[in-house]
Structure 1
Amino acid sequence: MDWVLLLLLLALCALLLHGLRLFLRADADLTLLWAEWRGRRPEQELTGMVVWVTGASSGIGEELAYQLSKQGASLVLSARRQHELERVKSRCLENGNVKGKDILVLPLDLTDRSSHEVATKTVLQEFGRIDILVNNGGRSQRSLVMDANMDVFKELIELNYLGTVSLTKCVLPHMIERKQGKIVTVNSFAGIVSVPLSSGYCASKHALRGFFHSLRIELVEYPGIVVSNICPGPVQSQVVSNALGEEVTKALGNGGDQSYKMATSRCVRLMLITMANDLTEVWIAEQPFLLVAYLWQYMPTWAWWITSKLGKKRIENFKSGVDADSSYFKFFKKKHD
């Protein structure tokens, strides 16, 4: 009997060690990783869909356009810079499974809420439907509360929050009429964890998370309409270099060290899996960022203590001109292709 108990304990220890290894190598929450392993494939679920992507001129939005075009989705590409959208469209046509008629370049300023209704009608006139709205447009922030002009906070709320809410409200009646559709919002770990130097950005992302959680409940009578909240951690993109500083007119301009961040292609692949499997909220990040999110979810007291320590170092880095994030994660850093 003692030998049986010993063998069971050894087996349990082996399982726990294996589980710990998997968690330390994880780059998304367990629900999303399970969907990647056993769930529906984007290649089957997203083909032929009409997908409207805001913030499509760079970063995650640009990569979304490339991967969706390979799935054979019809695309609406929106951002403020039309020439950049045309560049993205050209590459989609070169490398994707789409033709010119499958891509609509639609310049859009999220802060100009009066234009959103017309833009929505333009999409419906072009394709007849909107299957997926991807709210990806927005900007980040790198400045201390006491140094930032109030216009910075106003701009972040207008762009990240109110602009996204406005466009969603324009598209939503169409989805309700059809009783189907997907509203996918690219939030951030900053929508879960508050960090220094990004107070206005965090506020806008927390607001988005609360809004779309409430919207999901209000749409309970429309099970065919899926509201998904995607929270990426650090991803290789221009989000830091485009971040607002102390003034609205001055972007940070320096993207810092990108080597420790997740490859954009991997982040977007996980986003497509989220869409294909109708997941409501997902976390996408490599360690140790993913661990921090779990701590905030399940051990907030510990999480607050750790975040305070790391936040102090983040501020010191910023003031000394060092990349605000990467220096205290040197142990975890790795190069991405």
Structure 2
Amino acid sequence: MLFTIIGVGVFAYGIIYTILVCLADCDLQLAFFERFGKKIRNLKGKVVFITGASSGIGEGTALALAKNGVKLVLAARRLAELERVKQKCLEISNGLLTSEDVLILQMDMLDIKSHQKYFDLAVQHFGNVDILFNNAGRSQRATWENIELDIHKQLFELNVFSVVNLTSIAVRYFNSKGSGHVAVTSSLAGVVGVPFSGSYTGSKHAIHGFFNSLRTEKTGKNLTVSIICPGPVFTNFLSESFTETVGKKYGISAKPTDRRLTMERCGELCAITLANQLDESWMALFPLIPFTYTAVYFPLIFKTTLKIVGVNTLFKLRDSSDIQLMTEAKKN
């Protein structure tokens, strides 16, 4: 009788868990903390340094934080876009922030030697930095065997080495003050090996290696490390993607009919991750979250399913288009 009750309980738990995974636009830990955890407003008065803040996920996160009175360092290359985002942050804050509470830094992540200078400017302006959110980066669409070696190098320079360098500067600063929080935008491509993005997927897996190693090394030392893994989001990320050829962008924009998280929703989920100091968060529309759970926890089922549905289906889940469109884009 006891084993029957246990069996029914486990079965019911599995059914409920599966339903929740299919309904949520993020992993269940993040969904739980969104409802029952710390609110974004708990970060009010803190200073968050965001790279890649001029658009996309960086902009969405900045807006979610500004709405709750979080002071911001907005860093990116495009000064005019940074000014635009700053103005939006001030407006959405409803008086919680003044112009002095949002610092703009026209910063190129690939200019490694300038990182210390810009981080010091942020500390000098606010007297403190509480969270570094590494968000700058680019994606890729390419056929694996045709990717030029210099593309691998360029993608790793931006997505990995520049991020690691700025994080090292922040960690040394946080060590000196006794606490801190570093976060990074990875991708579901850093959790699952996705097709037609070899360099990008490799760079995101490298990010997981670096940041998971950092978290383990600093256990018990008041340093929080968060890895944020979005799926498709409505940004200019796709059109700006690397291809397999140096100097050539993908050039295909997301369509309004695509199944993607909005920039605002993704930014809100990122802000919730920061407020609750979560180790890792996944966020995407159905069916990518259950797809990722299956890939991670049931690899045999995932492998079998992928053989049945084909790699083109996986590509469509990501880009809402087929491989033929990618092939035509590379010819143009």
- TM value normalised by structure 1: 0.87
State the one-letter code of the partner of 1:34. Answer: F
Instruction: Call closer, same or farther: CA 1:12–1:221 in 2, change over 3 Å.
Output: closer
Counterpart contact for 1:148–1:247, Cα < 8 Å: yes
How big is the shift at 1:219?
A: 0.9
Residue 42 of structure 1 corresponds to: 40
Larger RCO: 1 or 2 (CA < 8 Å, sep 6+): 2
- SS of 1:176's equivalent in the other structure is helix
Query: 1:85-120, CA deviations, whole angstroms, 9 ceiling, x for partnerless residues?
Result: 111112212222311101111011111111111111
Question: After superposition, where does 1:46-125 map in structure 2 within 5 Å?
Answer: 46-96=43-93, 97-125=96-124
Instruction: Call closer, same or farther: CA 1:6–1:145 in 2, change over 3 Å.
Output: closer
How big is the shift at 1:322?
A: 6.5
Question: After superposition, where does 1:159-178 map in structure 2 within 5 Å?
Answer: 159-178=158-177
Counterpart contact for 2:312–2:323, Cα < 8 Å: no
Question: After superposition, where does 1:208-223 map in structure 2 within 5 Å?
Answer: 208-222=207-221
CA RMSD of aligned residues (A): 2.6
Residue 255 of structure 1 corresponds to: 253
Instruction: Call closer, same or farther: CA 1:126–1:197 in 2, change over 3 Å.
Output: same
Query: 1:205-243, CA deviations, whole angstroms, 9 ceiling, x for partnerless residues?
Result: 000001000001111241x21001111111221111110
How big is the shift at 1:13?
A: 7.4
Aligned with 2:225 (options 224, 227, 249)? 227
Counterpart contact for 2:72–2:103, Cα < 8 Å: yes
Counterpart contact for 1:141–1:201, Cα < 8 Å: yes
Instruction: Call closer, same or farther: CA 1:298–1:315 in 2, change over 3 Å.
Output: closer
CA distance in 1, matches of 2:324, 2:119: 45
Higher mean displacement: 315-324 or 185-194: 315-324
Instruction: Call closer, same or farther: CA 1:75–1:281 in 2, change over 3 Å.
Output: same
Residue 245 of structure 1 corresponds to: 243
- Structure 2 residues without counterparts, runs of 5 or longer: none
Counterpart contact for 1:256–1:323, Cα < 8 Å: no
CA distance in 1, matches of 2:205, 2:178: 28
CA distance in 1, matches of 2:84, 2:31: 33
How big is the shift at 1:279?
A: 1.0
Higher mean displacement: 315-324 or 88-97: 315-324
State the one-letter code of the partner of 1:67. Answer: A
Residue 267 of structure 2 corresponds to: 268
Residue 24 of structure 2 corresponds to: 26
CA distance in 2, matches of 1:110, 1:17: 45
- SS of 2:146's equivalent in the other structure is coil
CA distance in 1, matches of 2:14, 2:218: 40
CA distance in 2, matches of 1:194, 1:179: 37
Counterpart contact for 2:50–2:58, Cα < 8 Å: yes
Counterpart contact for 1:42–1:273, Cα < 8 Å: yes
Counterpart contact for 1:50–1:129, Cα < 8 Å: yes
Aligned with 1:320 (options 317, 320, 324)? 324
How big is the shift at 1:15?
A: 6.7
